[in-house]
Chain A
Amino acid sequence: MSAKPKIVYQPRASWLHGLHPLVKLCWLAGLSISLFVIRGPLWVLTVLLVAVAFFPLAALSLRRDVRGIRFLATMGVLLFSLQAVFNHTGSPILDANLGPVNLLVTDGGVAAGIYVGGRFLSLVLMSYLFVLSTDPSSLAYALMRIGLPYRYGFVLITALRMAPIFEIEGNTVYQAQLTRGVKYDVRTPRKFVTLARQLILPLLVSALRKVDELAVSMEGRCFGKYSTRTYRRTPGYTGSDILALVLLGAGIIVVVWSVLSPH
């Protein structure tokens, strides 16, 4: 048996992995907004190609590390094709008579296809790049250092800590039911409710027990004693971070100038 790839941080020694989480977050936000602010399919294609190119640069593999890549690619192509075939705005670039069907493709339809399909794929792949290359606890600590109340920051961190445990427990409860002769043949709403209750109850009890134990562990270490706390981690920004931020700032200035400029 082999485990399916999960959408979780993949530690690698790449330039992208080494960037400060907040710098990457700013880039993700900036590029995502630019996809909708900057007009022109060329920009969407550029962002998409850059996102794809960054996978090998970040020592990541589209095939291995991106869950459901075939589905995503198919969705992107489908979204493009629907616009290209059915959106007939602009000038024709292809007008083919295929028997009973007349295939008319216009430059406006192709542009719309690139907007829809390209934006979809760009956003998904950039988000993947961010998640796969960013240690979530580093992100949480970085957010706490810039003002996120630490209680909320630790909600994220403990959730990240507990999520895999609950996933395993859910699977164990399901398997335990199978071994006790439970049959997952849902024929009536009543049966569905019974099965759901039998699945959820053990998980709920286990979760509540863990919450109790975690509360003892955290309060026993003075979590919540003060409104602020100190940190072991130093929020270090490297030269690469500065360079990335300068480039992003310059890009934003150019975009804002081009959008506001009357010409």
Chain B
Amino acid sequence: MICIRGLSFKFQDSAAYALKDVHLEIEPGDFVVITGPSGCGKSTLALALGGYLFRQYAGEASGEVKVGGLSTRQAEIFDVAEIVGLVQQNPEAQLCTLTVADEVAFGLENRRLPKSTIQERSEWALEIVGALHLFDRALATLSGGEKQKIAIAAMMAAKPQVLIFDEPTSNLDPTATGEIFKVIQHIREKAGITVIVIEHKLGYLRPFQPRVVRMEQGRIVSDGRDLPRYSPSESVPAPSKRSTPMSNNGRAVRTEHLTVEYGDSPVLNDLSIDLHTGEFVAVMGDNGSGKTTLLRCLMGLLKPRAGEVVVLGHDTGKTPVSSLARDIGFIFQNPDHQLFAETVWEEAVFAPRNLGLLNEGTSQRVGSLLRRCGLQRYRDTHPHRLSYGEKRRLNLASILSYEPRLILLDEILIGQDSENATMVMDLLREQTLRGSTVVNVTHDPETTFRYSDRVVFLKDGRILLDVATGEALDRLATLGLVDYLPHGRSEELLSR
């Protein structure tokens, strides 16, 4: 079905090859997972398989890519699209109409199929992803997981022979992630097509026994049936034991009866919580449960409709954000929204400079942070030229540079491979040992249970669970929140 021979590709203005001498053969009906560190060339390979790489991106290409006997370097995109469907990472950016029915019909209408066929294929595709009940809904009213299901259905409607998923769950919570992987498996069983999944979350894929292709620096370095064992997802040490309980420390954050509404919909509902100095707190919950809203309230970016938020002695409802910025570091979800400078170095010193904290000590600290984050060699590179994972690490370096007393993180681990995820979490752990409080909104159960002192689980804007990490595994299992348990532990815990 797929035959890649000696494929190399270098983007224009880039010194390194994104793909280097790639050889790969995939049989019809295979289930292949492509994994590897961020920036290793996985997504570039997906674009090459769809033919987009050679049409939409300037660069040097050599070698051959054939899909269903068609050379994607030579053929028209539209001809390749009859064989290959590509589901991308961000559902928001790949949906181009306003309703579910229009979105799924879009590709069929473009192919000039008759109305009866469009209707029949749309319903088939929605059914196969378990979203037929959404047929009449507006896209704006759907959750992230539902949007991704519609993006999959929109590709499936054309009945491709190969379906490629490029990190389809990176923006989704564990519940939605589990559902998407079930959909992928269902597609394999029902449609019998070749499925290629580019993914970091390998634990979810173990039950499917896929073929695993690992890439590093643009090359394929391994190809087999074994999922890597070194990933932190495969081993969950007991949560760290502190000599003194965190509650003995001073209070860093206090919210009392916090209520926040968007329009008429409550997002946080009567939420009261205390966080202590030096505590490493994981905030978990499904998309839309209020996690990001809580962070924004702590930073003073959202003013509550009712209740009070006191952070490091400041009432954030009454204190300007500019006054809180010195003591609070906030990393938003999308790295592109928080890169403002011309070089990596300038970005890392951006906040200290604005806050009047740039001195020799800060510069030394920034240099050390860039080294630990693997960014030192990019010191003079434009931040927007970095890979997604590298940008996230730069975001982290830029707030740790001024050592804020409260660190608010929104999905810092998206796009990080296991080694970099460990490095990021180690850095944050060190901050808590120096007295900073870390509030980490996360969908990653593995790191949560390795690093956090405490787990706060939100549901519909309320606290469902607030316990020490040691108790969290059992409590989550009892509540049936199995998607939030580390892989390999869920069955054990549920059987107790």
Contacts of A32 in B (CB 8 A): none
Q: Can you list 7 A-B contacts with CB-CB less than 8 angstroms, sorted by A residue number?
A: A1-B260, A141-B102, A181-B351, A210-B90, A218-B96, A220-B77, A232-B115
At the interface, yes or no: B11 with Cβ under 8 Å from chain A? no
- CB nearest neighbor in A for B260: A1
At the interface, yes or no: B93 with Cβ under 8 Å from chain A? yes
Contacts of B90 in A (CB 8 A): 210, 213
Q: Tally chain A residues at the interface, Cβ within 8 Å.
A: 55
Contact A3 B56 (CB under 8 A): no
> Which of A23-31, A45-53, A222-230, A251-259 lies at the binding interface?
A222-230
Query: What is the CB-to-nearest-CB distance from B376 to chain A, in angstroms, rounded to a whole number?
Result: 21
Partner of B95, one of A161, A173, A229, A234: A161
Partner of A1, one of B85, B106, B261, B351: B261
Contacts of A234 in B (CB 8 A): 115
- CB nearest neighbor in A for B332: A176
Contact with B along A197-231 (1 / 0, CB 8 A): 01001100110011011111111111111101111
Size bracket, chain B contacts = 35 or more
Contact B52 A219 (CB under 8 A): yes
Contacts of A172 in B (CB 8 A): 332, 334, 337
In the complex, which residues 42-70 of chain A have their Cβ closer than 8 Å to any Cβ of chain B? none
Contacts of A198 in B (CB 8 A): 340
Beyond the given A205-B384, A232-B102, please list 8 additional residue pairs across the A-B interface where CB-CB is below 8 A: A178-B325, A180-B354, A217-B96, A220-B77, A222-B78, A222-B158, A230-B108, A232-B118
Contact A178 B301 (CB under 8 A): yes
A228 to B113, CA, bound (A): 11
Given contacts A137-B99, A157-B96, contact A226 B325 (CB under 8 A): no
Contact B351 A180 (CB under 8 A): yes
A135 to B139, CA, bound (A): 13
- CB nearest neighbor in B for A3: B263
At the interface, yes or no: B262 with Cβ under 8 Å from chain A? yes
Contact B384 A225 (CB under 8 A): no
Given contacts A161-B98, A210-B93, A220-B155, contact A230 B115 (CB under 8 A): yes
Partner of A219, one of B81, B98, B112, B330: B81
Contact A2 B261 (CB under 8 A): yes
A6 to B9, CA, bound (A): 46
Contact A179 B112 (CB under 8 A): no
At the interface, yes or no: A165 with Cβ under 8 Å from chain B? yes
Given contacts A1-B305, A176-B332, contact A214 B261 (CB under 8 A): no
Contact A164 B263 (CB under 8 A): no
Contact B113 A230 (CB under 8 A): yes
Contacts of A87 in B (CB 8 A): none
Contacts of B262 in A (CB 8 A): 1, 3
The 9 closest A-B pairs by CB, nearest first: A221-B107, A181-B354, A217-B94, A213-B93, A176-B338, A181-B355, A232-B105, A222-B110, A180-B351
At the interface, yes or no: B461 with Cβ under 8 Å from chain A? no
At the interface, yes or no: A169 with Cβ under 8 Å from chain B? yes
At the interface, yes or no: A127 with Cβ under 8 Å from chain B? no
- CB nearest neighbor in A for B85: A220
At the interface, yes or no: B458 with Cβ under 8 Å from chain A? no
At the interface, yes or no: B277 with Cβ under 8 Å from chain A? no
Query: What is the CB-to-nearest-CB distance from A232 to chain B, in angstroms, rounded to a whole number?
Result: 4
- CB nearest neighbor in B for A8: B140
- CB nearest neighbor in B for A180: B351
Contact A232 B96 (CB under 8 A): no
Contact with A along B103-141 (1 / 0, CB 8 A): 001111111111100110010000000000000000110
Partner of A201, one of B47, B296, B330, B340: B340
Contact A216 B334 (CB under 8 A): no
Contact A175 B301 (CB under 8 A): yes
Given contacts A2-B263, A175-B301, A225-B111, contact A213 B96 (CB under 8 A): no
Query: What is the CB-to-nearest-CB distance from B462 to chain A, in angstroms, rounded to a whole number?
Result: 18
At the interface, yes or no: A182 with Cβ under 8 Å from chain B? yes
Contacts of B81 in A (CB 8 A): 219-222
- CB nearest neighbor in A for B110: A222
A123 to B398, CA, bound (A): 51
Given contacts A137-B99, A181-B322, A221-B81, contact A229 B112 (CB under 8 A): yes
Query: What is the CB-to-nearest-CB distance from A82 to chain B, in angstroms, rounded to a whole number?
Result: 38
